[in-house]
Amino acid sequence: MEYANGGTLRDYLNENFNRLSWDDRYNLAHQLACSVLCLHDEGIVHRDLHSCNVLVHKKSIKLADFGLSKRIDEASNSQSKLLGMVPYIDPKVLMNSNNLKLNEKSDVYSIGVLLWEISSGKPPFHEEKNRIGLIYDISQGRREEIIPDTPNDYSNLYIECWNNEPSKRPNMHEVVNRLGVFIPDSNSTTIDQQNDISDQTYPTPNENLTPNSAGNSSHGELSKMIQNFTNMNTSEIDSMSTKEQINENISSENYFSIECKTACY
Protein backbone atom coordinates (compact mmCIF):
# COMPACT_ATOMS: atom_id res chain seq x y z
CA MET A 1 0.00 0.00 0.00
CA GLU A 2 1.36 3.41 -0.99
CA TYR A 3 1.90 5.87 1.84
CA ALA A 4 0.44 9.36 1.35
CA ASN A 5 3.35 11.51 2.50
CA GLY A 6 1.22 14.64 2.77
CA GLY A 7 -1.41 12.99 4.94
CA THR A 8 -5.03 13.98 4.56
CA LEU A 9 -6.03 17.16 2.77
CA ARG A 10 -7.07 18.50 6.20
CA ASP A 11 -3.57 17.87 7.56
CA TYR A 12 -1.86 19.14 4.42
CA LEU A 13 -3.70 22.46 4.44
CA ASN A 14 -3.17 22.87 8.17
CA GLU A 15 0.58 22.40 7.82
CA ASN A 16 1.29 24.04 4.46
CA PHE A 17 -1.42 26.59 3.70
CA ASN A 18 0.70 29.70 4.27
CA ARG A 19 3.19 28.40 1.70
CA LEU A 20 0.60 27.62 -0.97
CA SER A 21 0.22 30.01 -3.89
CA TRP A 22 -3.07 30.32 -5.71
CA ASP A 23 -1.57 28.17 -8.47
CA ASP A 24 -0.96 25.46 -5.85
CA ARG A 25 -4.55 25.73 -4.65
CA TYR A 26 -5.90 25.60 -8.19
CA ASN A 27 -3.90 22.44 -8.82
CA LEU A 28 -5.25 20.76 -5.69
CA ALA A 29 -8.82 21.75 -6.58
CA HIS A 30 -8.46 20.62 -10.20
CA GLN A 31 -6.92 17.26 -9.27
CA LEU A 32 -9.66 16.66 -6.72
CA ALA A 33 -12.38 17.45 -9.25
CA CYS A 34 -10.72 15.23 -11.88
CA SER A 35 -10.60 12.32 -9.45
CA VAL A 36 -14.30 12.61 -8.63
CA LEU A 37 -15.14 12.99 -12.31
CA CYS A 38 -13.35 9.71 -13.02
CA LEU A 39 -15.55 8.00 -10.45
CA HIS A 40 -18.72 9.49 -11.89
CA ASP A 41 -17.70 8.46 -15.40
CA GLU A 42 -17.49 4.89 -14.09
CA GLY A 43 -20.95 5.14 -12.56
CA ILE A 44 -19.59 5.41 -9.01
CA VAL A 45 -20.76 7.93 -6.42
CA HIS A 46 -18.25 8.50 -3.62
CA ARG A 47 -20.87 9.70 -1.09
CA ASP A 48 -18.39 10.53 1.67
CA LEU A 49 -16.15 13.36 0.45
CA HIS A 50 -14.50 15.46 3.11
CA SER A 51 -10.98 16.66 3.81
CA CYS A 52 -10.19 13.78 6.16
CA ASN A 53 -10.54 11.14 3.44
CA VAL A 54 -8.86 13.00 0.61
CA LEU A 55 -5.14 12.23 0.68
CA VAL A 56 -2.17 14.21 -0.61
CA HIS A 57 0.88 12.34 -1.94
CA LYS A 58 3.74 14.24 -3.56
CA LYS A 59 1.41 17.22 -3.98
CA SER A 60 -1.09 15.03 -5.83
CA ILE A 61 -4.64 14.25 -4.72
CA LYS A 62 -5.72 10.68 -4.01
CA LEU A 63 -9.22 9.72 -2.96
CA ALA A 64 -9.84 7.34 -0.11
CA ASP A 65 -12.97 5.78 1.28
CA PHE A 66 -12.14 4.96 4.87
CA GLY A 67 -15.60 3.56 5.40
CA LEU A 68 -14.63 0.70 3.10
CA SER A 69 -10.92 0.38 3.83
CA LYS A 70 -10.74 0.75 7.62
CA ARG A 71 -11.69 -1.95 10.10
CA ILE A 72 -14.53 -1.02 12.42
CA ASP A 73 -12.32 -1.38 15.48
CA GLU A 74 -10.00 1.30 14.10
CA ALA A 75 -12.83 3.83 13.90
CA SER A 76 -13.44 6.57 16.43
CA ASN A 77 -16.63 6.50 18.51
CA SER A 78 -16.87 10.28 18.64
CA GLN A 79 -20.16 12.03 17.93
CA SER A 80 -18.37 15.41 17.72
CA LYS A 81 -16.19 14.18 14.87
CA LEU A 82 -19.21 12.85 13.03
CA LEU A 83 -20.96 16.17 13.48
CA GLY A 84 -17.84 17.74 11.99
CA MET A 85 -18.73 16.04 8.71
CA VAL A 86 -22.12 17.81 8.53
CA PRO A 87 -20.91 20.81 6.44
CA TYR A 88 -19.80 18.46 3.64
CA ILE A 89 -23.09 16.59 3.30
CA ASP A 90 -25.81 17.52 0.83
CA PRO A 91 -28.38 19.42 2.95
CA LYS A 92 -31.23 17.81 1.02
CA VAL A 93 -29.99 14.45 2.28
CA LEU A 94 -29.31 15.77 5.78
CA MET A 95 -32.90 16.89 6.14
CA ASN A 96 -34.21 13.78 4.37
CA SER A 97 -35.95 15.95 1.77
CA ASN A 98 -38.30 13.77 -0.30
CA ASN A 99 -36.25 10.73 0.76
CA LEU A 100 -33.41 11.95 -1.47
CA LYS A 101 -30.40 9.64 -1.47
CA LEU A 102 -26.77 10.56 -1.97
CA ASN A 103 -25.99 10.87 -5.67
CA GLU A 104 -23.61 12.58 -8.11
CA LYS A 105 -24.98 16.01 -7.24
CA SER A 106 -24.34 15.24 -3.56
CA ASP A 107 -20.67 14.71 -4.45
CA VAL A 108 -20.74 18.05 -6.28
CA TYR A 109 -22.04 19.73 -3.11
CA SER A 110 -19.16 18.22 -1.13
CA ILE A 111 -16.71 19.38 -3.79
CA GLY A 112 -18.01 22.92 -3.40
CA VAL A 113 -17.27 22.84 0.32
CA LEU A 114 -13.83 21.35 -0.33
CA LEU A 115 -13.03 24.06 -2.89
CA TRP A 116 -13.88 26.62 -0.22
CA GLU A 117 -11.66 24.77 2.27
CA ILE A 118 -8.76 24.79 -0.21
CA SER A 119 -9.20 28.57 -0.53
CA SER A 120 -9.30 29.13 3.23
CA GLY A 121 -7.01 26.51 4.73
CA LYS A 122 -9.60 25.84 7.43
CA PRO A 123 -12.40 23.29 7.84
CA PRO A 124 -15.87 24.71 7.19
CA PHE A 125 -17.52 26.29 10.24
CA HIS A 126 -14.53 25.28 12.36
CA GLU A 127 -15.36 27.93 14.98
CA GLU A 128 -19.03 26.99 15.19
CA LYS A 129 -19.94 25.85 18.70
CA ASN A 130 -23.54 24.78 18.15
CA ARG A 131 -23.02 21.89 15.74
CA ILE A 132 -26.63 20.75 16.10
CA GLY A 133 -28.10 24.12 15.20
CA LEU A 134 -25.68 24.24 12.27
CA ILE A 135 -27.57 21.35 10.65
CA TYR A 136 -30.71 23.47 10.49
CA ASP A 137 -28.82 26.59 9.41
CA ILE A 138 -27.15 24.78 6.51
CA SER A 139 -30.47 23.30 5.42
CA GLN A 140 -31.81 26.87 5.26
CA GLY A 141 -28.96 28.02 3.03
CA ARG A 142 -26.24 29.12 5.41
CA ARG A 143 -22.76 28.75 3.89
CA GLU A 144 -19.24 29.84 4.73
CA GLU A 145 -18.15 33.37 3.84
CA ILE A 146 -15.99 33.93 0.77
CA ILE A 147 -12.35 34.39 1.77
CA PRO A 148 -11.05 37.88 0.86
CA ASP A 149 -9.03 38.06 -2.38
CA THR A 150 -10.49 34.81 -3.70
CA PRO A 151 -10.80 35.07 -7.52
CA ASN A 152 -14.44 35.60 -8.48
CA ASP A 153 -14.53 32.75 -10.99
CA TYR A 154 -13.33 30.34 -8.31
CA SER A 155 -15.77 31.49 -5.61
CA ASN A 156 -18.65 31.60 -8.10
CA LEU A 157 -17.93 27.97 -8.97
CA TYR A 158 -18.04 26.66 -5.41
CA ILE A 159 -21.13 28.75 -4.68
CA GLU A 160 -22.87 27.01 -7.58
CA CYS A 161 -21.64 23.63 -6.35
CA TRP A 162 -23.12 24.09 -2.89
CA ASN A 163 -26.47 25.40 -4.11
CA ASN A 164 -29.28 24.07 -1.93
CA GLU A 165 -31.07 22.74 -5.02
CA PRO A 166 -29.27 19.76 -6.59
CA SER A 167 -30.69 20.56 -10.05
CA LYS A 168 -28.94 23.95 -9.98
CA ARG A 169 -25.51 22.49 -9.25
CA PRO A 170 -23.09 21.89 -12.14
CA ASN A 171 -22.02 18.36 -12.99
CA MET A 172 -18.43 17.25 -12.47
CA HIS A 173 -17.56 17.69 -16.15
CA GLU A 174 -18.41 21.38 -15.87
CA VAL A 175 -16.54 21.72 -12.58
CA VAL A 176 -13.40 20.20 -14.11
CA ASN A 177 -13.64 22.34 -17.23
CA ARG A 178 -14.08 25.56 -15.26
CA LEU A 179 -11.21 24.75 -12.92
CA GLY A 180 -9.10 23.83 -15.94
CA VAL A 181 -9.15 27.47 -17.03
CA PHE A 182 -6.82 28.18 -14.11
CA ILE A 183 -4.42 25.35 -15.09
CA PRO A 184 -2.30 25.89 -18.23
CA ASP A 185 -1.57 22.16 -18.66
CA SER A 186 -4.98 20.98 -17.47
CA ASN A 187 -5.31 18.38 -20.23
CA SER A 188 -2.22 16.52 -19.10
CA THR A 189 -3.28 16.83 -15.47
CA THR A 190 -6.62 15.26 -16.26
CA ILE A 191 -4.96 12.38 -18.08
CA ASP A 192 -2.52 11.81 -15.22
CA GLN A 193 -5.38 11.75 -12.74
CA GLN A 194 -7.32 9.28 -14.87
CA ASN A 195 -4.31 6.99 -15.08
CA ASP A 196 -3.63 7.32 -11.37
CA ILE A 197 -7.19 6.63 -10.28
CA SER A 198 -7.39 3.58 -12.53
CA ASP A 199 -4.75 1.97 -10.31
CA GLN A 200 -6.87 2.46 -7.18
CA THR A 201 -9.48 0.02 -5.96
CA TYR A 202 -13.11 1.14 -6.04
CA PRO A 203 -16.39 -0.71 -6.23
CA THR A 204 -17.58 -1.61 -9.70
CA PRO A 205 -20.78 0.14 -10.88
CA ASN A 206 -22.73 -2.96 -9.81
CA GLU A 207 -21.16 -2.63 -6.38
CA ASN A 208 -21.97 1.07 -6.20
CA LEU A 209 -22.04 2.14 -2.57
CA THR A 210 -25.53 1.31 -1.40
CA PRO A 211 -27.25 2.78 1.65
CA ASN A 212 -26.41 -0.44 3.51
CA SER A 213 -22.70 -0.46 2.63
CA ALA A 214 -19.95 0.45 5.07
CA GLY A 215 -18.94 3.48 3.04
CA ASN A 216 -22.34 5.03 3.53
CA SER A 217 -22.80 3.97 7.15
CA SER A 218 -21.73 7.27 8.67
CA HIS A 219 -24.52 9.07 6.81
CA GLY A 220 -27.00 6.43 7.93
CA GLU A 221 -25.98 6.92 11.53
CA LEU A 222 -26.09 10.68 11.10
CA SER A 223 -29.61 10.40 9.72
CA LYS A 224 -30.64 8.55 12.88
CA MET A 225 -28.97 11.18 14.98
CA ILE A 226 -30.87 14.08 13.43
CA GLN A 227 -34.18 12.30 12.91
CA ASN A 228 -35.86 14.11 15.79
CA PHE A 229 -34.17 17.35 14.82
CA THR A 230 -35.69 17.38 11.32
CA ASN A 231 -39.20 17.22 12.78
CA MET A 232 -38.74 20.36 14.84
CA ASN A 233 -39.97 23.77 13.77
CA THR A 234 -37.98 27.00 14.02
CA SER A 235 -39.48 28.10 17.33
CA GLU A 236 -38.60 24.79 18.93
CA ILE A 237 -35.04 25.03 17.68
CA ASP A 238 -34.71 28.52 19.13
CA SER A 239 -35.72 27.38 22.62
CA MET A 240 -33.00 26.39 25.05
CA SER A 241 -35.00 23.46 26.38
CA THR A 242 -35.29 21.98 22.89
CA LYS A 243 -31.54 22.30 22.31
CA GLU A 244 -30.86 20.52 25.58
CA GLN A 245 -33.28 17.78 24.56
CA ILE A 246 -31.54 17.39 21.20
CA ASN A 247 -28.16 16.97 22.88
CA GLU A 248 -29.62 14.49 25.34
CA ASN A 249 -31.10 12.41 22.53
CA ILE A 250 -27.85 12.42 20.57
CA SER A 251 -25.76 11.49 23.59
CA SER A 252 -27.72 8.26 23.95
CA GLU A 253 -26.33 6.88 20.67
CA ASN A 254 -22.86 5.85 19.51
CA TYR A 255 -21.57 7.06 16.17
CA PHE A 256 -18.27 6.85 14.39
CA SER A 257 -16.08 8.67 11.91
CA ILE A 258 -12.42 8.33 11.02
CA GLU A 259 -9.62 9.93 12.98
CA CYS A 260 -7.08 12.23 11.32
CA LYS A 261 -4.20 14.10 12.87
CA THR A 262 -6.00 17.43 12.65
CA ALA A 263 -9.34 17.35 14.42
CA CYS A 264 -12.37 16.84 12.17
CA TYR A 265 -14.49 19.32 14.07
Whether 261 is in a domain gets the answer no
Domain encompassing residue 29: 9-251
Here the CATH number for the domain that contains residue 27 is 1.10.510.10
**How high is the pLDDT of residue 104?**
96
Whether 263 is in a domain gets the answer no
CB of 229 closer than 8 Å to CB of 135: yes
**How high is the pLDDT of residue 256?**
28
pLDDT tens track for 177-196: 999 999 876 554 443 444 44
Instruction: List the catalytic residues.
Output: 48
Whether 106 is in a domain gets the answer yes
Of 18, 104, 8, 4, nearest to 54 by C-alpha is 8
**How high is the pLDDT of residue 83?**
72
Whether 120 is in a domain gets the answer yes
Kindly write down the DSSP assignment for every residue of the chain, as one continuous string: ----TT-BHHHHHHHHGGG--HHHHHHHHHHHHHHHHHHHHTT-------TTSEEEETTEEEE--HHHHS-GGGSB--HHHHHTTGGGS-HHHHTTGGG----HHHHHHHHHHHHHHHHHSS-TTTT-S-HHHHHHHHHTT--PPPPTT--HHHHHHHHHHT-SSGGGSPPHHHHHHHHHTT-TTHHHHHHHHHHHHHTS----GGG---TTSGGGHHHHHHHHHTHHHHT--HHHHHSHHHHHHHHHHHHTS---B---SS---
**Count: domains in the chain:** 1
Question: Which residues are CB-contacts of 207 (< 8 A; sequence separation ≥ 6)?
Answer: none
Whether 44 is in a domain gets the answer yes
pLDDT tens track for 16-62: 999 999 999 999 999 999 999 999 999 999 988 999 999 999 889 99
**How high is the pLDDT of residue 129?**
84
This prediction has a pTM of: 0.72
Whether 197 is in a domain gets the answer yes
Whether 48 is in a domain gets the answer yes
Whether 14 is in a domain gets the answer yes
